[in-house]
Amino acid sequence: NAGVTQTPKFRILKIGQSMTLQCTQDMNHNYMYWYRQDPGMGLKLIYYSVGAGITDKGEVPNGYNVSRSTTEDFPLRLELAAPSQTSVYFCASSRGGGETQYFGPGTRLLVL
Amino acid sequence: KNEVEQSPQNLTAQEGEFITINCSYSVGISALHWLQQHPGGGIVSLFMLSSGKKKHGRLIATINIQEKHSSLHITASHPRDSAVYICAVGGTASKLTFGTGTRLQVTL
């Protein structure tokens, strides 16, 4: 089992560019999450999904979009990158609500 | 005031010392999580608890629901325990609110 995988590991974007951060899990988990981690701050929830076809906003959703067409994949889309989106992004999954979350290795994004 | 407060923010210990990291929260929760973030950035879940105490190897986590407080203890600390330890609390819909973490360095 690979668990939760994320690509890319690192990316530099110019202001205004768009990109998709990929997240895949092979544990057949229903719940998936996207977090961002800024220096000195706690992880913040961007979006989450309780199953294929169902997504909902977290604490900091502005500037991002998600989709969940399959159980395995939960991509995060940045449409118009801004310097404020420079951060480390973590994807996570859990079997159910309130259960242990398994994290991917993270994607470091720099927007210049 | 943050909903989840951890103390201390930074902690240096010598190998073998007993370590305690504290977490206080101000909201009603269904469960509290302790996570470890390695120096390379990876995050792993250590414990999830809603009452009492859990133990895994040299790690012990306790929670007092009435006082809205949890502690993570590390017995016989080792340099490989050096990491950031993060407390997170879960309410409805499995959303977690995270503390800012406690950076632990264990020296020889």
Does residue A75 have a cis peptide bond before it, meaning omega lies within 30 degrees of 0?
no
A40 Cβ under 8 Å from any chain B Cβ: yes
Is there a contact between B94 and A88 if contact means CB atoms under 8 Å apart?
A: no
Contacts of A30 in chain B (CB under 8 A): none
* Tens-binned pLDDT, residue by residue, of chain A (112 aa): 689 999 999 999 999 999 999 999 999 999 999 999 998 888 999 999 999 999 999 999 999 999 999 999 999 999 899 999 999 999 999 998 888 899 999 999 999 9
- Tens of pLDDT, residue by residue over A55-86, are 999 999 999 999 999 999 999 999 899 999 99
Output DSSP code: residue B40.
T
Contact A99/B at CB under 8 A? yes
Could you tell me which of A19, A21, A27 has the C-alpha nearest to residue A9? A21
pLDDT tens digit sequence for B31-80:
999 999 998 889 999 999 989 999 999 999 999 999 999 999 999 999 99
> Are the C-beta atoms of residues B86 and B34 closer than 8 Å to each other?
yes
DSSP string, A40-106: TS--EEEEEEEETTEEEE-S--TTEEE--SSSSB--EEESS--GGG-EEEEEEEESSTTSPPEE---
